[in-house]
């Protein structure tokens, strides 16, 4: 503050300076900048130590009051306890009257103003209204530490200044109102374009990823959102995954592809109502609120995506600033959500059709390959009681989707049993995919089972579909399941329990609805005890075990099989056989057949090659030689010895298998291992009438 006398300026110079002020005022929009710039210009032609500017209505802000201090050229902070409507400036603006200090006759009293003036050492004060075209714009005040500063002439000049300021401010306000209206029109036009663009995208784009990403980016840009995302639900509405995330400045607490916690009751309620829900970040202990707070999101909305009565997921938007979404924006977002739902429905339908088309193409190629490599018979031949028992088990388990584990020696027909289960199930119209686990190198078995992505390993030059993906809706038959490496067994267990897997080299989780039928000629229980096969996988496979008897335990089926192979292979070799000598048939029935049905098939094929007439010529010399002192009869003798020894122990223990004194303990075996061995040896417990029953 200073008591120096004001500069001497002529009246003409003062009014000429006002013209320069008018040119400056028209381009200033911010009240704080306006009062500062105005004070610096007026300081050249008027005397004051404080100047204030009160504007009754600033577009987008309402009433504004700014006080400028001359000595340090700064804005004086206004106490929050002073309501704007109680200021002398507000009174002057509304009453259109001049107020001065010291007060003139007839002027009302303003005690709090007088106290403030005294506190700041102001001895002269003048407040003049800002009027433009008869409309109240606001008020200006001038304060000086010198007494008698604002006489009648000075008041007249400052009133003229106020009129000029009011005119400039009113013009600027009108311009601002036009600008805001223009922006609203532009925004409305841009929002309309958004709806049209989304609609066009829905009609023209069936690529789900590309479509959702484009829609989310446009919504975030047009509505000034910080984040836009699409969450998709699975068919059971138990799981949700963040499918598309448009969040350029995200902090990393939420990532695309992440699984989103689902509260089934809340999801069902939101989907049932079909109405959007405003995002709240005040909830404690809710993961959604925690993540939103961590990302700095303050406001947002979630819209359910519904199409044709089906719940597809959610579309969400959020902002970090304090500005909430207005009713118009929420209505627009609801329209966009409806279009996204339609897009999802179309894209999912397209994906399903494309997937089915690809599935049919893959199945066609696979079946063509199967036809070329198929075994030369396509049905189970025989009428022995042992075979009938197996077929009854097939009829029982086939209609279910239960996992089946088929035991049996090599060549006993385990694959035929698996095919019979598939053909009698509800999956008969879908693919039956087989894989011999022992025939695939362990390093490639994972790719065969689950598929791989291009570049997953050296030589992976293209994406490959695995057997479980190929057989979705059908049946996978894994022969020699005991040969699966231990490191792949957990993934196989996951397939059985969760129906989920990932291709080799990919993090994307796929689902399959394939039924598994496994087969083995090994003792999996012993492998479990030896630590080479997982116990949990064995129990999951062994839901419904079926034992396929070896050919030597069903000799009555051998004549039927011989005639069957003669007919089928005869067409293949173009040989017509009318007679099979009884000596030949008896020799075949007496043979032990260590290779089972496969060995019999190969022998008949060799016989047909050697046969030149209507009588089948079987090379029996080989069978007789192998029935003599060869290793195969020795194996048979050991088997018979083992069978006799087990029977003797069973008789001694009264056919009690378990317990410390049971047959299993005496033989040094587990009870389950002994039960499997009894099946292998064909041992059944006789009932009280002498008829055999199962041990």
Q: What is the per-residue pLDDT across 161-212, written as a single tens digit (0 to 9) for each? A: 888 777 777 766 665 555 655 565 455 556 556 655 665 555 555 566 776 7
pLDDT of 461 higher than 50: yes
Average pLDDT over residues 50-65: 75
Measuring CA to CA, how many Å separate 548 from each of 389, 469, 681? Answer: 9, 28, 12
As a whole number of angstroms, the distance between CA 478 and CA 495 comes to 13
The dihedral built from the CA positions of residue 284, 288, 293 and 298, taken in this order, carries a sign that is: negative
Quick check: helix, strand or coil at residue 684? coil
pLDDT of 448 > 70? The answer is: yes
**Least trusted range by pLDDT, from 30-34, 87-91, 371-375, 387-391:** 371-375
For residue 73 the two structure tokens come to 């050229």
Distance separating alpha carbons of residues 77 and 393, to the nearest angstrom = 91
pLDDT of res. 45: 76
Nearest to 660 by CA among 668, 652, 651: 668
Q: What are the tokens at 561?
A: 């099989």
CA dist., res. 651 & res. 662, Å (int):
11
Confidence at residue 539, expressed as pLDDT on a 0 to 100 scale: 93
For tokens 């714009």, the residue is 137
pLDDT at residue 475, as a whole number = 95
Owner of token pair 């006759």: 105
Say which residue, 198 or 580, is predicted with more confidence.
Answer: 580
Cα torsion 617, 622, 626, 628: sign: positive
Q: Cα–Cα distance between 321 and 157 in angstroms, integer? A: 45
| 323, 234 contact by CB (below 8 A) | no
The mean per-residue pLDDT over the stretch 472-499 comes to 92
pLDDT digits (tens, 9 = 90+) for 681-693: 888 877 654 444 4
For the stretch 332-363, pLDDT in tens is 888 888 877 877 777 777 666 766 666 666 66
Give the C-alpha distances (Å, rounded to integers) separating 600 from 416, 588, 606, 639: 15, 9, 10, 21
What is the average pLDDT value for the chain, to the nearest integer? 79
Q: Which position has the token pair 């910080």?
A: 226
pTM greater than 0.85: no
The Cα-based distances of 36 to 70, 75, 89 in angstroms read: 9, 8, 18
Four-point Cα dihedral 615, 619, 620, 624, nearest 10: 180
CA 619 vs CA 380, 604, 611, 613: distances in Å: 25, 9, 10, 15
Pick the closest to residue 325 from 301, 348, 305, 355 (CA basis).
301
SS3 108: coil
Six token digits for residue 655: 């056919």
* Selection from 104, 103, 157, 126 nearest residue 49 by Cα: 126
Terminal CA-CA length for the chain? 115
> In percent, how much of the chain has pLDDT > 90?
15
- 153-156: list long-range contacts, CB under 8 Å, 24+ apart: 154/46, 154/126, 155/98, 155/100, 155/126, 155/128
Sorted by sequence, the CB contacts under 8 Å of residue 351 that are 6+ apart come out as 208
559 vs 204: which has the higher pLDDT = 559
Backbone angles phi, psi at 532, to 5 degrees: -100, 0
- Core vs surface per residue 360-388: b (16+ CB within 10 A) or e: eebbeebeeeeeeeeeebeebbbebebbe
Give the DSSP per-residue string, 564-621.
HHHHHHHHHHT----B--HHHHHHHHHS--TTHHHHHHHHHHHHHHH--SSB----HH
Dihedral (CA of 537, 539, 545, 549) sign: positive
CA 256 to chain centre: 8
pLDDT score, position 79: 61
Element (H, E) at 40: helix 31-42
Q: Which one has a higher pLDDT value, 380 or 638? A: 380
Q: Kindly state the average pLDDT of the residues 110-130.
A: 84
pLDDT > 90? residue 122: no
Type and span of the H or E element at 328: helix 327-373
3-state secondary structure of 128: strand
Host H or E run for residue 645: helix 631-652
633 confidence band (pLDDT: 50, 70, 90)? very low
Separation between Cα atoms, residue 273 and residue 151, nearest integer Å: 71
Phi, psi of 232 (to 5 degrees): -110, 140
H or E segment to which residue 520 belongs: strand 515-520
Determine the average pLDDT of the residues in 17-45.
69
| Stretch among 102-111, 255-264, 375-384, 547-556 having the lowest mean pLDDT | 375-384
- Measured distance CA(263)–CA(281) in Å, rounded: 17
């Amino acid at each position: 503050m200073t008591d120096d006398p004001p500069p001497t300026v002529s009246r003409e110079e003062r009014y000429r300076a006002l013209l320069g002020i008018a040119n400056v005022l028209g381009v200033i929009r911010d009240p704080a900048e306006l009062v500062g710039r105005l004070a610096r210009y007026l300081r050249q032609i008027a005397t004051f130590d404080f100047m204030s500017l009160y504007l009754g209505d600033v577009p987008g802000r309402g009433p504004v009051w700014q006080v400028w201090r001359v000595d340090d050229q700064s804005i004086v902070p206004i106490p929050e306890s002073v309501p704007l409507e109680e200021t002398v400036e507000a009174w002057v603006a509304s009453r259109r009257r001049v107020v001065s200090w010291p007060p003139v006759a007839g002027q009302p009293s303003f005690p709090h103003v007088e106290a403030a003036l005294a506190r700041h050492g102001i001895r002269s004060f003048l407040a003049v209204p800002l009027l433009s075209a008869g409309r109240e714009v606001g008020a200006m005040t001038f304060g000086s530490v010198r007494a008698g500063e604002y006489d009648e002439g000075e008041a007249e000049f400052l009133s003229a200044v106020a009129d000029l300021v009011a005119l400039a401010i009113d013009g600027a306000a009108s311009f601002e109102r036009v600008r805001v209206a223009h922006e609203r029109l532009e925004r409305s036009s841009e929002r309309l374009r958004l709806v049209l663009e989304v609609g066009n995208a829905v009609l023209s784009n069936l690529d789900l990823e590309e479509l959702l990403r484009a829609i989310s980016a446009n919504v975030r840009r047009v509505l000034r959102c910080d984040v836009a995302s699409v969450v998709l639900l699975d068919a059971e509405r138990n799981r949700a995954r963040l499918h598309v995330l448009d969040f350029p400045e995200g902090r990393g607490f939420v990532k695309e592809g992440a699984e989103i916690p689902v509260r089934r009751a809340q999801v069902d309620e939101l989907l049932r109502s079909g109405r959007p829900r405003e995002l709240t970040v005040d909830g404690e202990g809710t993961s959604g609120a925690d993540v939103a707070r961590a990302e700095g999101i303050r406001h947002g909305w979630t819209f359910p995506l519904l199409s044709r009565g089906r719940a597809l997921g959610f579309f969400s938007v959020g902002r970090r600033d304090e500005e909430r979404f207005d009713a118009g924006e929420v209505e627009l977002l609801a329209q966009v959500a409806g279009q996204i739902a339609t897009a999802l429905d179309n894209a999912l339908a397209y994906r399903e059709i494309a997937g089915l088309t690809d599935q049919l193409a893959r199945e066609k190629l696979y079946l063509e390959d199967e036809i070329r490599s198929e075994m030369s018979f396509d049905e189970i031949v025989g009428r022995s009681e042992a075979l009938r028992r197996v077929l009854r088990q097939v009829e029982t388990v086939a209609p279910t989707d239960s996992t089946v584990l088929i035991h049996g020696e090599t060549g006993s027909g385990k694959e035929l049993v698996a095919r019979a289960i598939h053909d009698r199930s509800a999956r008969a119209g879908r693919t039956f995919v087989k894989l011999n686990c022992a025939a695939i190198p362990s390093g490639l078995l994972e790719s065969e089972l689950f598929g791989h992505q291009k570049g997953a390993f050296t030589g992976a030059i293209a994406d490959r579909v695995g057997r479980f993906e190929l057989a979705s809706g059908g049946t996978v038959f894994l022969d020699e399941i005991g040969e699966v490496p231990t490191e792949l067994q957990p993934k196989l267990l996951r397939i059985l329990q969760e129906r989920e897997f990932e291709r080799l080299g990919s993090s994307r989780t796929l689902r399959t609805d394939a039924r598994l039928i496994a087969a083995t000629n090994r003792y999996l229980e012993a492998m479990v005890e030896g630590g080479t096969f997982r116990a949990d996988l064995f129990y999951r496979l062994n839901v419904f075990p079926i034992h396929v008897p070896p050919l030597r335990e069903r000799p009555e089926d051998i004549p039927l099989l011989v005639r069957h192979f003669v007919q089928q292979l005869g067409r293949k070799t173009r040989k017509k056989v009318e007679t099979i000598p009884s000596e030949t048939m008896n020799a075949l029935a007496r043979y032990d057949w260590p290779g089972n049905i496969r060995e019999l098939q190969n022998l008949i094929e060799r016989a047909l090659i050697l046969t030149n007439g209507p009588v089948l010529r079987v090379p029996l010399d080989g069978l007789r030689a192998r029935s003599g002192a060869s290793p195969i009869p020795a194996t048979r003798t050991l088997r018979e010895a083992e069978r006799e020894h087990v029977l003797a122990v069973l008789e001694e223990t009264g056919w009690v298998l378990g317990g410390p004194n049971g047959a299993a303990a005496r033989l040094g075996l587990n009870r389950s291992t002994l039960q499997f061995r009894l099946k292998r040896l064909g041992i059944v417990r006789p009932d009280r009438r002498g008829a055999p029953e199962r041990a």
